Amino acid sequence: MPIRLYQIRESGNCYRVRLMLALLGQTADLIEASPERDGAALGAFREVPVLVDGSLRLRDSQAILVYLARRYGEPHWLPDGAEALARIQQWLSFAANEIQNGPRMARGIVRFGRAGDLEAALRKAERALRLLDLHLAARTWLETGAPTIADVACYPYVSKAGEAGIDMSAYPALARWIGRIETLDGYVPPEAPGSAGRTA
Which residues of the shown chain bind ligand GSH in the complex (CB under 6 A)? 8, 11, 13, 47-49, 60-62, 96
Rg over alpha carbons for the chain, rounded to the nearest Å, is: 16
In whole angstroms, the minimum distance from the beta carbon of 60 to ligand GSH comes to 4
Distances in Å between the Cα of 48 and the Cα atoms of 16, 27, 181 are: 11, 18, 24
Shorter beta-carbon distance to ligand GSH: residue 12 or 147: 12
Shorter beta-carbon distance to ligand GSH: residue 29 or 60: 60
Shorter beta-carbon distance to ligand GSH: residue 82 or 112: 112
Among 160, 142, 162, 159, CA closest to 150 = 142
First to last CA, the chain: 13
Shorter beta-carbon distance to ligand GSH: residue 62 or 148: 62
In whole angstroms, the minimum distance from the beta carbon of 95 to ligand GSH comes to 8
Q: At what angle do helices 149-159 and 172-181 cross, to 10 degrees?
A: 110
Shorter beta-carbon distance to ligand GSH: residue 64 or 166: 64
Rounded to whole angstroms, how far apart are CA atoms 32 and 148? 27
What is the number of residues in the chain?
200
Rounded to whole angstroms, how far apart are CA atoms 39 and 55? 17
In whole angstroms, the minimum distance from the beta carbon of 170 to ligand GSH comes to 26
In whole angstroms, the minimum distance from the beta carbon of 107 to ligand GSH comes to 11
In whole angstroms, the minimum distance from the beta carbon of 12 to ligand GSH comes to 7
Determine contact, residues 174/140, Cβ cutoff 8 Å: no
